[in-house]
Amino acid sequence: MEETQIEFHWRGCSRWLEKIMSRVVLFPHPGQGHITPMFQLANILHHTMGFAISIVYTQHNGPDISRHPHFNFHLISDPVTANDSPNIPFRGNPIKRFNDHCARPFKLCLDGILSSDTVRCIVTDAMLYSTQAVADELNIPRIVLRTAGVHSFVLYAAVPLLHQTGYLTNMEARAEEVIPEFPPIKLKDIPLFGDNDTNGKVETFSNIFTETKKCSALIFNTFEELESPDLAKLRRQLDMPVFAIGPFNKRFSAAETSMLKEDRSSIDWLDTQALESVLYVSFGSIAAMDKTTFLEVAWGLANSGQPFLWVIRPGSINGAASAASEMLPGEWAEEVSGRSCVVEWAPQEKVLAHSAVGGFWTHSGWNSTMESICEGVPMMCAPYFADQMINARWVSEVLRIAINLERVFTRRDVEEGIRRLMTTAEGAEMQRRVAALKETAAACLGSGGSSYEALESLSMFIMELG
């Protein structure tokens, strides 16, 4: 081997050794929709980029460590109780209390890790804004993972100013008004609408964005082609790198972080159904409805005549003592016999990838939205809280790959929405658009694609930190 080749080979080995001896510490927000993308990112950093990984976590929604033998885990105390869940994003006081309480335990934990390892940086959820002060005190770079879309983050960043100027007053009377700077988003889509704790939520938005502006870089589970106008807008606002390295779910599955047991009999049932005939219905891991709305959903599904796979998880109905599925009337079961499958939880990525699925009725959480886009499945949206209303508006009116039922609907709305999505020319056009996005999502991950290049840039960026 020539001398120049030996030098090049040694430099490459040296760089590799330097990377595997470098540790990245991640701290997820303890909500299911936040844990999943953080663990997917941890796998990307470890398996794809070669970094050693430490995960800091709290007892609430703690991970199954046995599923992740390649990571180091560090438990810290948290103030959350069963009756005070941080799963509901942007409920001002619990989020503030969580940040206030966890800053010191996180610092002590990080001190311990630093005593034995070289830590390149920490990666924390945007909602854990108190970790920026810890990073500054210990002189460690902080990278922020934002687990929702860029479009919602850009809007959230503007909420404190909108509030300060008085624009958000009298929101109930102006609910249908489109926000001029953020069309087609309406006032009622901002997660302050109908809330008594407006000041608390505005403070949370302000803290999140103020502390994010101090970090070293920002990561999104999205891809450049999907949100290019909003990425450009955000990059103009922030003096830092913004890495769009998604879709995460096409690199690593969300299944290993699921807190509910997946019922794979749903796949066996889908195998018996016709091509693109089934509507998949799942409202995520948190959202719950009252009994009246639950029955409107049930009868809308029945009256549509469409085959459906419905996830009814425990806790789907507010205040229900018995399982939600037990509240379904006998005559309903007779009506849908032979064209329905009801399970408590399903392997969502496999369901959406199944050839029998032709539509997805979703709560419009960002993880579900990305998974649906990646599998080319058009959506019907019934958002509940946080960024879900913004996502539903965005996929229905900007991308035009969904029907937005919004938050209040009747069985007739459900029936008509399903037929529009599954049987009309309008639905076929949505299918065409989302199929094109599916191809783009796959291409961006390949060599030379936007997310491939962004991940390469992120790897080099982390190696230059510290």
The domain segmentation of the chain, as residue ranges, is: 3-244, 259-442
Helix (H, G, I), strand (E, B) or coil at 207: helix
Cβ–Cβ contacts within 10 Å for residue 260, how many? 13
Report the mean per-residue pLDDT for the chain.
88
The confidence band for 323, taking pLDDT boundaries of 50, 70 and 90, is low
Give the Cα separation of 218 and 207 in Å (integer).
16
Same fold, 3-244 and 259-442: yes
Give the Cα separation of 448 and 444 in Å (integer).
8
- Is the pLDDT at 86 greater than 90? The verdict is no
DSSP state of 338: T
| pLDDT score for 320 | 67
Q: Are residues 223 and 247 in contact, defined by beta-carbon separation less than 8 angstroms?
A: yes
CB neighbours of 69 closer than 8 A, spacing ≥ 6? Answer: none
CATH of domain 259-442: 3.40.50.2000
- Is the pLDDT at 201 greater than 90? The verdict is no
- Residue whose token pair is 């540790």: 23
Give the Cα separation of 434 and 442 in Å (integer).
12
Give the Cα separation of 130 and 412 in Å (integer).
46
- Is the pLDDT at 445 greater than 60? The verdict is yes
Region 352-374: mean pLDDT is 97
* From 195-199, 226-230, 353-357, the region with the lowest mean pLDDT: 195-199
The confidence band for 322, taking pLDDT boundaries of 50, 70 and 90, is low
Q: Which of 93, 30, 89, 97 is nearest to 58 (CA)?
A: 30
- Is the pLDDT at 62 greater than 90? The verdict is no
CATH of domain 3-244: 3.40.50.2000
In this predicted model, what pLDDT tens digit does every residue of 151-200 receive, in sequence order? 999 999 999 999 889 888 888 889 999 999 999 999 999 987 556 667 87
CA torsion through residues 16, 20, 26, 32, sign: positive
In this predicted model, what pLDDT tens digit does every residue of 289-309 receive, in sequence order? 888 999 999 999 999 999 999
